Amino acid sequence: MRRYQRPVISLISRVLGARGDRALAEDLAQETFVKAYLKLSGFDSSRRLSSWLFRIAHNTAVDALRRRSRVPTAPAGEGLDPSEPDADHLAAPALPDPVETEALGHALEEAMAQLRPEYRAAVMLRYEEGLPFEDVAHVLGVPDATARSYVHRARKQLAARLAEGGWQPSKA
């Protein structure tokens, strides 16, 4: 529990977005660990424990969202475009100025809050937790191609929202 507490709370917070608060995320994390403990006998030891736990956390957060607001979600695989390349190999430019880095962080948090919950979760799992797409797909309960699509679309939406907000890196 100590090892995964922070990542589980972070994932749940991302899924909840602007609708959640820290206390709710902590409550849902506790619920996640209780569910995991009760279902430990069902854990497939050929898989990663983190993926299994993140999937329980994701489902717990989505259930909480549904209870609170009845937000409609897109069916898995809807609107997939397999011809869209994955842009993970592109590195972000270095930002040496700490003030600029902080401003980007705030802008990115605001843009992340506007994403669909499944997009937020996919980005968090891929970039904050460093999970491969196979594990992201398992956690979200979608095919691998759908997980890739979620990340790709989230990145496009984040870039567009940052540009709309006028965020531009300073010229060093």
pTM recorded for the entire structure: 0.54
What is the number of other CB atoms lying within 10 angstroms of the CB of residue 141?
Answer: 14
Q: Are residues 45 and 103 in the same domain?
A: no
Residue 47 lies inside a defined structural domain of this protein: yes
Burial class of residue 172 (count of CB atoms within 10 Å of its CB; 0-12, 13-18, 19+): exposed
Determine the average pLDDT of the residues in 7-36.
85
**How many domains does one find in the chain?**
2
**Rounded CA gap, 140 and 131, in Å?**
12
Q: What is the residue range of 115's domain?
A: 98-164
CATH of the domain at 140: 1.10.10.10
CATH of the domain at 57: 1.10.1740.10
* pLDDT-based confidence at residue 99 (cuts at 50, 70, 90): low
Determine the average pLDDT of the residues in 102-114.
78
Q: pLDDT digit string (tens) for 129-147?
A: 888 899 899 989 999 999 9
49: its two tokens:
């424990």
Residue 77 lies inside a defined structural domain of this protein: no
Residue 56 lies inside a defined structural domain of this protein: yes
**Between 154 and 162, the higher pLDDT residue:** 154
Residue 75 lies inside a defined structural domain of this protein: no
**Rounded CA gap, 155 and 26, in Å?**
27
